[in-house]
Structure 1
């Protein structure tokens, strides 16, 4: 069988299994978007963890910027890192399946035969850190607060929920406007549950440095605003022996130290003030780790592969700005980014050029649309760029020499077609206004790639300036869409769905604090997002996502940058890990403190 044939056969098989499961409509321990859960009722642990991982030790990481709040659910303030550790959810995902949720706070789940509702039955032993039980009233309260007063994306996520019912002390039902949103029964179990009693005399929508009451694996141990926050593992955590949590959350303490400069944070790792760092810069990974602790083997560099989509990172145009309203202008400016030179000069050739919003996965559109995908796009012909049907979008290329005259000539021709001309070495429009804009960043590391881009823009007669802001200022301006261009990241999962409304939907374009950074308002994109959300099978999801990918790429809403092949960690040689690769990116919460390694490393360090 060919790969395509196998995929179609598998999709058909999965759909048949799903249909059979829905007909029963009975309480289950887990639910999959398509097919059946991999793990059976009462499973002891996920296959990729060490169920006997020892508890103990610590992890100390760096965060850039500062924080002034322990409320991560609202736009106000800057919330501290790691606060999700305090809160359990109704369900939890596995990392070796595309999209499956298993009960955490919920003991069972029951999707109605028409998929128009889901009912959760809570575990009787679920408890908050103060010993009080987690009740359906807490769940209903959490849902209500997040939807009414939380960050804007919660309202979008819960948009298809029509009612919440609590018929008894352990049962809560969420009803939907219909049963066509296949993802909704799964994502409704993802929101954090907090105590209604805790907020009885506290405003939910205000910042606070008081540690909130949660039911998760960690508690807040110490807080030093804008400097550090430390979490302590709860030895009495109610779910520590449940299958979905076994082998996770193994460290006694987790500490996040705040730094203003990423270079200083890297030196703190070398000095032993930090113990673990996720390195996001390929150039630093290639050049900045030739230090004594690394050469001596005290600090290990671990690269971990996975099969998850890399998403899109790039310079994001704010199309709300008149200068970027014209797609031709956006397309032209992309020719000023010399990726090949950047990769060779700054990153030792380690980077991969991003071309798709779903790179590194089967969801990426390749070649020309055919078959079902073409049929899906056909109604939009004449309403979307013609290139959607005639070309695969690939970003401009160079020979890597640093000489990009040919690309700049192409860009200038495109800009002239869009009504811009060169006058006194400056690009101006019909009114004589120059093409000038500001690029916002909050991390000095972005200067390495952005400054050469700006220099190339100058050769076109375009004036771009770079502004580095502290995290708080940057966040406020981004939330208000007060920027011309910024570096944005659109993370993607193996099973895209409702979050696409937030990233690219017209309804989110004008909501302060939303995630539609580019301000996209395109009816065709809106229609395809809904097609993705309501995909009836995995095969249909792949087809519909590829069609959406084409429209986003040809819309030229970002100048694509690059991605790496792996997730990179630099860490002191204190830790153990199974090394089992999964579909999803590996988090260090699967790791554990290896006492023998730690003792040997500390002894070697002391010599």
Structure 2
């Protein structure tokens, strides 16, 4: 249960990295990449898979037919996007609610390869040159690059974009640009990005995947959340028809300038992509059953187990299929807001976690389909196991006294209940933790020394979470916490999340396979604890955590990165800023049987809307031609 919220797709929406041209030296880290040489691609560690003369990515079908409409419910989003509504067409600013997949309208300097953990290849830029001090990156832009109105996309537009995003952009963009000193248009087709030296070596992999905006458009139009004028883009799609808050269509650009580039071949096959917005999952499912929605991922276990008995499914017109999840660190967890005094004691946060009976919830709500999450980096090598290795201890020992002692022992795991829904042992343990933290029982509630109740309210935007969290709330009440659930509409939910106005709030998210410091900062670093729009939902503010984030960001090879990430995971789990909940090993996909797709799913993303196509014969068989 729970859809994926993500950092901006590095290419441009999902969390990842970006690109350019001549292969890196074999087996050498990005920090050791040759300088003053035009490169066709960049990778954080080691070789690039694709050579300078590659013609397409291996995971696409270059012969895929083009045309048709793909009407779907996206599974993920980033920046200020939301799956429930929209009131702006500007996806790049902190405020407002923008529609999912606006990123499809904008090209970037480089794009990710979905079958490599950290590689990027040139799109607008056909090459990049790294300066001797590794703080400057000079991009050669393709002269054929064009905006949708036919005007050239130039280095001046790119320089304008990076300065604008640094100054006024959503934190997903502004944070990685913190140490950008200047963006300079040397000439119409040459761009230089100059950094201060305080950036990490992998920062550039995020930055090159940012959307390039039109200077002319955003000079004539405000760069804020009031913008409902479709922005001028440059990519394979542009905004077509739309109804604010209801639906939006993206139309394929017939004369898209980059259609035949190696990074684009076999992709963007649908003539029209339509995104629907529903605030009620049941209504969305009814639309899918009628064929008004053609593809969706199922996040409600009950529906996946019992809901697929409608006529179109029985007739074989609708398919249920599980696709393997990406090999990327994922988290689904509840943040306990430490900006509020009553949650600053980790014993209180631990007590709240003990009240969640996952085993009962799994059996009664999830039909046995979910596994218990333990880590913020689930489904990856970054999840800590057992006791710290000597290499991890080398990072942890200097922080002794600043981090919980538990971080030096077995990796913290969530207690396993007896599955009764009211495990007396675990609730007794929670009650003792509250007593130890200074909360005393007074009638039905625990109070502090001033008589104030310990209250805890879940903020949710979907009725399904009311059902799932209600038993959790009842257990919290049993140990004396004045617990409740507040269901709000999409706009209020987004506003309260951005302003950190909640007690408890849940999130599902993925990090890149090779996280940068910028990716980690938005979730865990002190500098984001008070920065609106970030994903530091618990308000984590710890110099020790900052040091571990910096260590991960500075890693020069994958082994060092893994060690630093595992050390960070140990401390996060011991602090209990987040209460891990659950995860699925696969994508539960349901779709009308009218599509073709490549035989091999890439390991590091699942952009169905970019890689699939309409199979006319299949569509005709089910009456969707």
Query: TM-score, normalising length from structure 1?
Result: 0.94
Residue equivalent to 2:596:
576
Per the alignment, do residues 440 and 179 of structure 1 end up closer, same or farther by CA in structure 2, a change over 3 Å counting?
Answer: closer
Residues 129-167 of structure 1 show CA distances to partners (whole Å, capped at 9, x for unaligned) of 111111000001111111111113322111121222222
Residues 469-519 of structure 1 show CA distances to partners (whole Å, capped at 9, x for unaligned) of 111011111111111111123421211111111111111111222221111
Over the aligned positions, Cα root-mean-square deviation in angstroms equals 1.8
Whether the 8 Å CA contact 2:295–2:589 is kept in 1: the answer is: yes
More displaced stretch, 73-82 vs 471-480 = 73-82
More displaced stretch, 81-90 vs 429-438 = 429-438
SS in 2 for 1:431: coil
Superposed, which structure 2 residues align to 1:93-492 within 5 Å? Answer: 93-178=112-197, 181-492=200-511
Residue equivalent to 1:516:
536
Residues 324-356 of structure 1 show CA distances to partners (whole Å, capped at 9, x for unaligned) of 011110011111101111111111111011101
Residues 354-384 of structure 1 show CA distances to partners (whole Å, capped at 9, x for unaligned) of 1011111111111111121111111001110
Question: How far apart, in 1, do the equivalents of 2:308 and 2:512 lie?
Answer: 30
Whether the 8 Å CA contact 1:128–1:134 is kept in 2: the answer is: yes
Per the alignment, do residues 474 and 155 of structure 1 end up closer, same or farther by CA in structure 2, a change over 3 Å counting?
Answer: same
Residues 203-239 of structure 1 show CA distances to partners (whole Å, capped at 9, x for unaligned) of 2224222111000110111021122111111121111
Deviation of 1:461 (Å): 1.6
Residues 30-85 of structure 1 show CA distances to partners (whole Å, capped at 9, x for unaligned) of 11111121001131111111111110111112475321211111123221222111
SS in 2 for 1:367: coil
Whether the 8 Å CA contact 1:307–1:361 is kept in 2: the answer is: no
Whether the 8 Å CA contact 1:115–1:180 is kept in 2: the answer is: no
Question: How far apart, in 1, do the equivalents of 2:184 and 2:298 lie?
Answer: 45
Question: How far apart, in 2, do the equivalents of 1:342 and 1:86 lie?
Answer: 41
Question: How far apart, in 2, do the equivalents of 1:95 and 1:120 lie?
Answer: 22
Deviation of 1:419 (Å): 0.9
Deviation of 1:191 (Å): 0.9
Could you list the runs of 5+ residues in structure 2 that have no partner in the other structure? 1-23, 75-82
Whether the 8 Å CA contact 1:239–1:245 is kept in 2: the answer is: yes
Whether the 8 Å CA contact 1:306–1:581 is kept in 2: the answer is: no
Whether the 8 Å CA contact 2:411–2:573 is kept in 1: the answer is: no
Alignment match of 2:67 (pick from 33, 43, 56): 56
More displaced stretch, 315-324 vs 398-407 = 398-407
SS in 2 for 1:532: helix
Residue equivalent to 1:66:
85
Deviation of 1:24 (Å): 5.1
Could you list the runs of 5+ residues in structure 1 that have no partner in the other structure? 1-12
Residue equivalent to 1:547:
567
Question: How far apart, in 1, do the equivalents of 2:355 and 2:30 lie?
Answer: 51
Alignment match of 2:619 (pick from 583, 592, 598): 598
Residue equivalent to 2:28:
17
Whether the 8 Å CA contact 1:14–1:34 is kept in 2: the answer is: no
Whether the 8 Å CA contact 1:75–1:151 is kept in 2: the answer is: yes
Residues 308-337 of structure 1 show CA distances to partners (whole Å, capped at 9, x for unaligned) of 234221221110001101111001111110
Per the alignment, do residues 298 and 200 of structure 1 end up closer, same or farther by CA in structure 2, a change over 3 Å counting?
Answer: same
Whether the 8 Å CA contact 1:99–1:495 is kept in 2: the answer is: yes
Whether the 8 Å CA contact 1:408–1:460 is kept in 2: the answer is: yes
Whether the 8 Å CA contact 2:329–2:513 is kept in 1: the answer is: no
Deviation of 1:539 (Å): 0.8
Question: How far apart, in 2, do the equivalents of 1:180 and 1:81 lie?
Answer: 29
Whether the 8 Å CA contact 2:30–2:42 is kept in 1: the answer is: no
Task: Count residues with an aligned counterpart.
Answer: 592
Per the alignment, do residues 580 and 19 of structure 1 end up closer, same or farther by CA in structure 2, a change over 3 Å counting?
Answer: closer
Residue equivalent to 2:21:
none
Question: How far apart, in 1, do the equivalents of 2:344 and 2:125 lie?
Answer: 47
Residue equivalent to 1:7:
none
Question: How far apart, in 2, do the equivalents of 1:536 and 1:25 lie?
Answer: 20
Query: TM-score, normalising length from structure 2?
Result: 0.92
Question: How far apart, in 1, do the equivalents of 2:30 and 2:413 lie?
Answer: 39
Question: How far apart, in 2, do the equivalents of 1:496 and 1:265 lie?
Answer: 34
Per the alignment, do residues 19 and 583 of structure 1 end up closer, same or farther by CA in structure 2, a change over 3 Å counting?
Answer: closer
Question: How far apart, in 2, do the equivalents of 1:401 and 1:296 lie?
Answer: 40
Q: Which has the higher helix share?
A: 1
Question: How far apart, in 2, do the equivalents of 1:465 and 1:396 lie?
Answer: 23
Per the alignment, do residues 261 and 224 of structure 1 end up closer, same or farther by CA in structure 2, a change over 3 Å counting?
Answer: same
